[in-house]
């Protein structure tokens, strides 16, 4: 594993499988009388959240605490800390406090990269969602959930439906799932697929119905209400008709296929209430698995990552690449 987890692209297949296998072992601890492990005793994990996300923060907090790390929650939302220099100053503060890992959620794509690669901190940086870029631990927990139900993901078909353009979950899942050998199809109206999606390791389609027949898992993405005003689609009703997972479409899924959603859901918009609550919906289980996956990530990033090590990345070494 690398020193940071900033993108699903940081994980090769071996790394990804290691995280998922580790998470599987850790999940079994959830049944024990004492859920805590001494593994990260004396280590400090900082949850640095520039955006509200109670569920992600709690998940990371639980993961770190079960590994006996000290957890500091730093919520920067709403304070004057929202602009540039502040990220640096905050980082320097965390470094001075001796943070071993910084879990960062930020509204700006790439903020975790800046934190990791600017020489401001030596701690491991875990991207807990940055702008419209990535959310790699969400992808790991999704892959984990799929593996539990479907076994090895090699050759499995996963359909991801909705606002791919603005979705960090879709980006991270597309990368991770294809690393794990799954065949990913992104389904969205053309307005919600990013430019250059043809260079991604995925198939794309504008037609949800044609993508459902053979899929093993279908993941519905949240559609933000504000997209409607920006003319990405004409109306919520039309979106729901063309891209919502309603009961009719649900019945077309293969028997074994599972239904996923990173939450929070717009019931009646991208997913019908009956589908969300059906036996094949693993949406609640995704949350449970999140803690185990994040424990695995923290364990794997932090063991052996003693800050006295000399092989840590040095920064200010970014060299400009040029067209010659």
Partner 1 sequence: MTAYLITGANICGADRPADLLLYDGWLADPAEAPADAVRVDGTGLIALPGLVDLHTHLREPGREDAETIESGSRAAAMGGFTAVHAMANTDPVADTAGVVEQVWHLGQSAGYCDVRPVGAVTVGLHGERLAELGAMADSDAQVRVFSDDGVCVSDAVIMRRALEYVKAFDGVIAQHAQEPRLTEGAQMNESAMSGVLGMRGWPAVAEEAVIARDCLLAGHVGSRLHVCHVSTEGSVELIRWAKSKGWGVTAEVTPHHLLLTDELVATYDPIYKVNPPLRTKADVEALRAGLADGTIDCVATDHAPHPTEDKECEWAAAAMGMLGLETALSVVQLTMVDTGLLDWAAVADRMSVRPARIGRVGDHGQPIEVGAPANLVLYDPAATRVVEPTTLQSLSRNTPYRGMDLPGSVVATFLRGRATVLDGQLQ
Partner 2 sequence: MSSASRSHDHPATAREVLDASDISRALTRIAHEILERNKGSANVILLGIPTRGVALAARIAAVMASVEAAEIPAGSLDITMYRDDLRLHPARALEPTDIPSGGIDDAVVVLIDDVLFSGRTIRAALDAINDVGRPAAVQLAVLVDRGHRQLPIRADFVGKNLPTSLSETVRVTLREYDDSDAVLISHTNVSRSSS
**Binding residues among 58-97 for partner 1 as defined by CB under 8 A:** 83-88
Question: Is 299 among the residues that bind partner 2 (CB under 8 A)?
Answer: yes
**Binding residues among 45-74 for partner 2 as defined by CB under 8 A:** 67
Question: Is 194 among the residues that bind partner 1 (CB under 8 A)?
Answer: yes
Peptide bond into 264 cis (omega under 30): yes
Using CB under 8 A, which of the segments 112-120, 184-192, 201-209, 248-256 binds partner 1?
A: 112-120
Query: Among 208, 202, 196, which residue's Cα sits nearest to residue 178?
Result: 202
Using CB under 8 A, which of the segments 209-217, 250-258, 301-309, 316-324 binds partner 1?
A: 316-324
Question: Is 300 among the residues that bind partner 2 (CB under 8 A)?
Answer: yes
What are the beta bridge partners of residue 160? 186, 219
Helix residue ranges, H only, the chain: 13-28, 54-66, 84-97, 111-117, 136-150, 168-179, 208-212, 226-229, 236-243, 247-252, 273-276, 283-302
In the structure encoding, which two tokens stand for residue 89, read together? 């100053």
Question: Is 32 among the residues that bind partner 2 (CB under 8 A)?
Answer: yes
C-alpha span between 52 and 57 (Å, rounded): 9
Question: Is 51 among the residues that bind partner 1 (CB under 8 A)?
Answer: no
Burial (Cβ within 10 Å: 0-12, 13-18, ≥19) of residue 308: exposed
In the structure encoding, which two tokens stand for residue 61, read together? 């907090």
Question: Is 304 among the residues that bind partner 2 (CB under 8 A)?
Answer: yes
C-alpha span between 147 and 144 (Å, rounded): 5
Query: 202: which DSSP letter?
Result: S
With tokens 């030596």, the residue in question is 122
Q: Out of 134, 163, 183, 270, which residue is the one contacting partner 1 (CB under 8 A)?
A: 134
Instruction: Report in angstroms how near the CB of residue 91 gets to partner 1 at its nearest.
Output: 10
Question: Is 306 among the residues that bind partner 2 (CB under 8 A)?
Answer: yes
In the structure encoding, which two tokens stand for residue 38, read together? 């001494």
Q: Is 186 or 300 the residue whose CB approaches partner 1 more closely?
A: 186
Q: Out of 4, 66, 105, 114, which residue is the one contacting partner 1 (CB under 8 A)?
A: 114
The item of partner 2, partner 1, none sharing an interface with residue 85, based on CB under 5 to 8 Å by kind, is: partner 1
Burial (Cβ within 10 Å: 0-12, 13-18, ≥19) of residue 298: buried
Using CB under 8 A, which of the segments 21-29, 69-77, 111-119, 150-158 binds partner 1?
A: 111-119
Q: Out of 22, 53, 93, 118, which residue is the one contacting partner 1 (CB under 8 A)?
A: 118
What are the beta bridge partners of residue 100? none
Residue 149 φ then ψ, to 5°? -95, -30
The item of partner 1, partner 2, none sharing an interface with residue 168, based on CB under 5 to 8 Å by kind, is: partner 1
C-alpha span between 9 and 1 (Å, rounded): 11
Binding site for partner 2 (CB under 8 A): 1, 18, 21-22, 25-26, 28, 32-34, 36-39, 67, 299-306
Binding site for partner 1 (CB under 8 A): 83-88, 106-111, 113-114, 117-118, 130-134, 168, 171, 194-197, 199-200, 318-323
């Amino acid at each position: 594993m690398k020193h940071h987890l900033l993108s699903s692209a940081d994980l090769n297949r071996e790394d990804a499988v290691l995280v998922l296998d580790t998470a599987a072992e850790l999940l079994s601890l959830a049944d024990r009388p004492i859920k805590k492990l001494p593994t990260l005793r004396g280590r400090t994990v900082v949850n640095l959240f520039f955006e509200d996300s109670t569920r992600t923060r709690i998940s990371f907090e639980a993961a770190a605490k079960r590994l006996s790390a000290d957890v500091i929650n730093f919520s920067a939302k709403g304070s004057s800390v929202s602009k540039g220099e502040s990220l640096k100053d905050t980082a320097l503060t965390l470094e001075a406090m001796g943070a071993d890992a910084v879990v960062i959620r930020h509204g700006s794509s790439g903020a975790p990269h800046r934190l990791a690669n600017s020489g401001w901190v030596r701690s491991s940086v875990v991207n807990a969602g940055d702008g419209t870029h990535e959310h790699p631990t969400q992808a790991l927990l999704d892959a984990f959930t799929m593996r539990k139900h479907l076994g090895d993901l090699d050759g499995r078909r996963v359909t991801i439906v909705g606002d791919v353009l603005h979705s960090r979950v879709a980006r991270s899942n597309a990368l991770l799932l294809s690393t794990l050998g799954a065949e990913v199809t992104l389904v969205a109206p053309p307005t919600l697929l990013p430019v250059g999606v043809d260079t991604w390791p995925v198939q794309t389609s504008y037609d949800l119905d044609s993508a459902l027949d053979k899929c093993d898992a279908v993941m519905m993405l949240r559609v933000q209400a504000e997209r409607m005003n920006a003319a990405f689609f004409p109306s919520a009703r039309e979106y729901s008709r063309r891209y919502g997972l309603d009961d009719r479409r649900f019945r077309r899924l293969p028997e074994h296929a599972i239904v996923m959603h990173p939450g929070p859901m717009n019931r009646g918009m991208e997913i019908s209430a009956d589908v969300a609550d059906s036996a094949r919906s693993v949406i609640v289980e995704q949350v449970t698995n999140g803690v185990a996956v994040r424990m695995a990530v923290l364990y794997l990033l932090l063991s052996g990552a003693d800050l006295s090590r000399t092989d840590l990345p040095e920064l200010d070494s970014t060299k400009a690449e040029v067209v010659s």
